[in-house]
Amino acid sequence: MLLGMGRPRSAQLRTPGARSLGAAVKAARTAAGHSTRALGRRLGKSAAWVLMLERGEVVFTPELVTAVANALELPTPEREALARRADDIGMSPWTPSTDLPGQLTTLVGYEREAVQINEITRIIPGLLQTEQYARAMISTSERYDQDDLVRIRMERQQVLTCSTAPFYLVILDESALQRPIAGHEAMAKQMAHLATMAELSNVDVRVIPNSAGVYPGMSAQFTVLEFEDSDPVVYVELLATATWLDKPNDTAPYAPALKRLRSQAMSSAESVNLMISYQRYHERKAAE
């Protein structure tokens, strides 16, 4: 039976690829003007099943996705694109998707569900960027609508101040505090914002000083998201794509890497003091 697959095995639920494809199905359904109930009727399923599908809680196959696309009466190119993405779910985790907005949708969902987010980065991370800094960083991308990407980045930041906010650990290269992204005046404001956010009880920003030498993540920054009831996932954002790692063998090396990074980084208090020092530096440079 094409759609009578039953509830999938728990190990297959809500993988990054499935979450991303489920979000794409939801976007297609919404654009087509169908409710979950209406789509369910067309497929001989319930509205609850459609919600599971859109959360990535149903095992995707090209046949299933084609059936959904047919029920939504999508144009042939869109049907074929969704079916290819169902095929891609079984590919190596090292094969990145080219659908960066879809990956961002998945990232937002994971950030909201995580109990802890650990980010190792050489730039101010998206969850802590001012809008001016974010716009300057996103301006280097010519592939997607920059206003949309800025809006998504700003909306993502709400996760840090909501009632179910995760603990957020940032290991930040000192060079991120030095480089005048969008100019010294913008960087002074960014430093002030960073120091303010670092004072939140659920946010811990620690700086890797220039004197530290080589450290894990220096050549490939990454984000590790931890959950209460499932294994961690690792997110690696590239120039125009993003890669998810969710298999235990692939994510296992990141725990010792995080431990080493904590030992190499400055303390929280020392890091905040350094941010304030760089804020004053950028203010002086802006006044020259």
- CB contact at 8 A, 25 and 89: no
Closest CA to 224 of 194, 252, 263, 264: 252
Q: Residue 59: its pLDDT value, please?
A: 78
Name the H helices within the chain. Answer: 16-32, 36-43, 47-54, 62-71, 76-88, 100-113, 131-138, 146-156, 175-178, 184-198, 248-251, 254-264, 268-287
Judge whether residue 5 has pLDDT over 60: no
Question: For residue 11, what pLDDT band results from cuts at 50, 70 and 90?
Answer: very low
Q: Residue 83: its pLDDT value, please?
A: 80
Question: For residue 39, what pLDDT band results from cuts at 50, 70 and 90?
Answer: very high
Question: For residue 3, what pLDDT band results from cuts at 50, 70 and 90?
Answer: very low
Question: Residues of the chain with pLDDT > 70: what percent?
Answer: 86
Q: Residue 20: its pLDDT value, please?
A: 74
| Cβ-based neighbour number of residue 5 at 10 Å | 12
Please give the Cα distance from 98 to 74 (Å, whole number).
21
* Mean pLDDT value of segment 163-190: 95
Q: Higher pLDDT residue, 18 or 264?
A: 264
This prediction's pTM: 0.72
Please give the Cα distance from 233 to 223 (Å, whole number).
8
Please give the Cα distance from 76 to 79 (Å, whole number).
5
Judge whether residue 18 has pLDDT over 80: no
Q: Residue 96: its pLDDT value, please?
A: 46
Q: Residue 94: its pLDDT value, please?
A: 44
Q: pLDDT averaged over the chain?
A: 85
Q: Higher pLDDT residue, 66 or 237?
A: 66
Judge whether residue 134 has pLDDT over 80: yes
Question: For residue 4, what pLDDT band results from cuts at 50, 70 and 90?
Answer: very low
Closest CA to 233 of 13, 7, 9, 54: 13
Question: Residues of the chain with pLDDT > 90: what percent?
Answer: 49
Question: For residue 38, what pLDDT band results from cuts at 50, 70 and 90?
Answer: very high
Closest CA to 224 of 121, 150, 101: 121
CA angle, 282 then 287 then 288, to 5°: 100
Q: Residue 143: its pLDDT value, please?
A: 65
